[in-house]
Amino acid sequence: MVPVAKDFVFRKPMVILITSGERKHVITVIFPDKSRKEFAGEGMTGEELLLELGLNPYETILSRNGGIIPEDTRIFSGDKIRLIAIVHGG
C-alpha cells in the first residue's frame, strides 16, 4: 500500500524544473492544459511527482509514454508523463 501523505504542501523539492541547458536526462510532464515542462528527478513515484507539483493524486491519472500507469509506478529520465484531470463538468 502506498503511504498516504498527510498534506500537499510543497516543502523540499525532489524534482527540479529545467528551464535551460542540459536536456538529455529529463522527465517531460504534459499538463491537462497541454502545456509541457521538463524536470530532473530519478526514481520517484508518480504520486510523489504529483505531490511535488501540488496536485491531488486522487484527482489525477497518469499516463507514461502513452499508457495508463498506477500512481505508485517509479518514473525515470526519458519518461513522458501525461497528467489527466479526472474532475470535469458535464
The residue among 38 and 82 lying less far from other proteins, judged by its C-beta, is 82
State the nearest-atom distance from the C-beta of 68 to other proteins, in Å. Answer: 4
The residue among 16 and 68 lying less far from other proteins, judged by its C-beta, is 68
The residue among 21 and 67 lying less far from other proteins, judged by its C-beta, is 67
State the nearest-atom distance from the C-beta of 79 to other proteins, in Å. Answer: 9
Q: What is the DSSP string of 32-71?
A: TTS-EEEEE--SEEHHHHHHHTT--GGGEEEEETTEEE-T
Q: Which amino acid is at 54?
A: G
Contacts to other proteins by CB under 8 A: 1-2, 4-6, 8, 56-59, 61, 63-76, 84, 86-90
HSE toward the beta carbon, residue 4, CA cutoff 13 A: 2
State the nearest-atom distance from the C-beta of 38 to other proteins, in Å. Answer: 19
Q: How many CB atoms lie within 10 A of CB 42?
A: 12
